[in-house]
Amino acid sequence: MALIAQLLLPFFGGFAALLAARTGRDRERWVAIAAMGATLVALLAGVVFGDDGRWLAFYRADWAPSFGIQVLLAMDGLTAAMLAISSGLGIISVFISWHVTHRSALFHAAICWTVAAANGVFLSFDLLIFAFFWELMIVPAFLLIALWGHGDREAAAIKFLVFNAVAGLGLLAAVFWMGATSDPVTFDAFVLAESDYSKTAQILLLLGFALAFMVKLPVPPFHAWLPDAHTQAPTAGSILLAGLLLKTGAYGLFRFPPMLFPEGLTALAGWGMALGAFGVVYGGILACGQTDAKRLVAYTSVAHMSIVLMGVCGGVHFALVGAGVEMIAHAFSSSALFLLIGALQHRTGTRDLRELGGLQKTAPAFATSFALFFAAALAMPGTANFLGEALVITGMFQVNWIFAAIALVSLVVSVVYATRLIGGIAFGAPKPAVQNVPDLHRYELWPIAILGLCALVFGLFPQLLIGWLWTAVEAALEPLIVVQP
């Protein structure tokens, strides 16, 4: 029941938030927080009382057995980590959006529904249900950008919708073909993993899945929706995009290609690593040229998620562990940076680095928080980001030293954009926009403290995270070892 609760509590919590707004001021906010808090408690119970085997929790129930459709949910350490991030970021998104009053009930319902749909992606192993949640989570995210965003928000929301909906068609086509050609008809990923697809069929099916995953990740040339979506989204929308929706793409790459298409992944791995290596450098270089702080961080996400693509395609133990660690670590650092930039914009009315500066003199907690999380984004030793990138690069040296060298060069590029951001915000004489900026409030400090603590604890004590991901990594590695020459 703990797994079903991950879907139903935030889903119905969204509807409850819609109704609660009619009973009193701020009721919708507390209902949304309660729903996602209960989801976290249910997750904790599922982990504490879970099994010690391959899965911490497993749930199977027929839904439409005559069509081979069932509710098939499973949770291992990687899934549990992503579920915790999902509900945790949902709660943070509510707290840092207390100033939102326009259609507040629908706003908080959209946050709950985004969390519910993402949880469905993380849990589902019936591929048709997985595809359903994959498409569903686009809708509340679209609403967050289109209704509560900034600037040209409608155009950014439509671009987000078109890119992700069109890319999802490849996933749907592959899932429909796999289900229709199985005997009996089934969408059970564990059954389909045993199917004897030819190498050509695996490559074609993998391309359908990979298109959806790489657009959501995103990696060049599928990233065009991301900078505009981040720039125009409200702070809560940016947090959920960076910390949650991008991670569904990374999670999908980690989970399904090795499981379903090991020969296809082995055949295309070189192309995937090349695309990831290009994305690492490309995202970093574009970040260096940005004056909008949000847009800068958006391009750094392109670079960091390209590291995950390299790790999955590397297909060796170090690279896969690094990919898993990086997707979790990036959720902490990117979410915190968007939170800080959003709070600064709310106070000053600008994100332009040319109009900011001297924050360490007027708001030292602000400046210190920026420094901490850009140290994490830089993959400085002692942070979880360093652990993830170091493991991926180590794995790349086992596979192809050229790709490893390119990833190392990208670290130099990251120093440039990090210096621009920190220098443009924290140092120098205070600019007029930040002369009287209030420092971080308590409701902003506690999520910063939690995200910072996670980034540091998992960086300083790496086995806590690596041990938690171990079974997922071994499951992804096993079919790849079988097909490797």
**pLDDT attached to residue 191:** 93
pTM over 0.75, yes/no? yes
**pLDDT attached to residue 158:** 95
CA distance 312 to 396: 10
Q: Helices 199-216 and 262-288 sit at what angle, rounded to 10 degrees?
A: 30
**pLDDT attached to residue 135:** 94
**pLDDT attached to residue 357:** 79
**pLDDT attached to residue 483:** 59
Q: Label each residue of the chain as H, E or C.
A: CHHHHHHHHHHHHHHHHHHHCCCCCCHHHHHHHHHHHHHHHHHHHHHHCCCCCCCCEEEEEEEEHHHCEEEEEEECHHHHHHHHHHHHHHHHHHHCCCCCCCCHHHHHHHHHHHHHHHHHHHHECEHHHHHHHHHHCHHHHHHHHHHHCCCCHHHHHHHHHHHHHHHHHHHHHHHHHHHHHCCCCCCEHHHHCCCCCCHHHHHHHHHHHHHHHHHHCCCCCCCCHHHHHHHHCCHHHHHHHHHHHHHHHHHHHHHHHHHHCHHHHHHHHHHHHHHHHHHHHHHHHHHHCCCEHHHHHHHHHHHHHHHHHHHHHHCCHHHHHHHHHHHHHHHHHHHHHHHHHHHHHHHHCCCEHHHCCCHHHHCHHHHHHHHHHHHHHCCCCCCHHHHHHHHHHHHHHHHCHHHHHHHHHHHHHHHHHHHHHHHHHCCCCCCHHHCCCCCCCHHHHHHHHHHHHHHHHHHHCHHHHHHHHHHHHHHHHHHHHHHCC
**pLDDT attached to residue 415:** 77
**pLDDT attached to residue 484:** 57
**pLDDT attached to residue 417:** 80
Tens of pLDDT along the chain (485 residues) come to 789 999 999 999 999 999 998 887 889 999 999 999 999 999 999 888 777 678 999 999 988 887 888 999 999 999 999 999 999 999 999 999 998 888 999 999 999 999 999 999 999 999 999 999 999 999 999 999 999 998 889 999 999 999 999 999 999 999 999 999 998 899 999 999 998 899 999 999 999 999 999 999 999 889 999 999 989 999 999 999 999 999 999 999 999 999 999 999 999 999 999 999 999 999 989 988 888 989 999 998 999 999 999 999 998 999 999 999 999 999 999 999 999 999 989 888 888 888 887 888 888 888 889 888 888 888 888 999 999 999 999 999 999 999 999 888 887 788 788 777 777 787 877 788 778 888 888 888 999 999 999 999 999 998 989 988 999 999 888 887 755 55
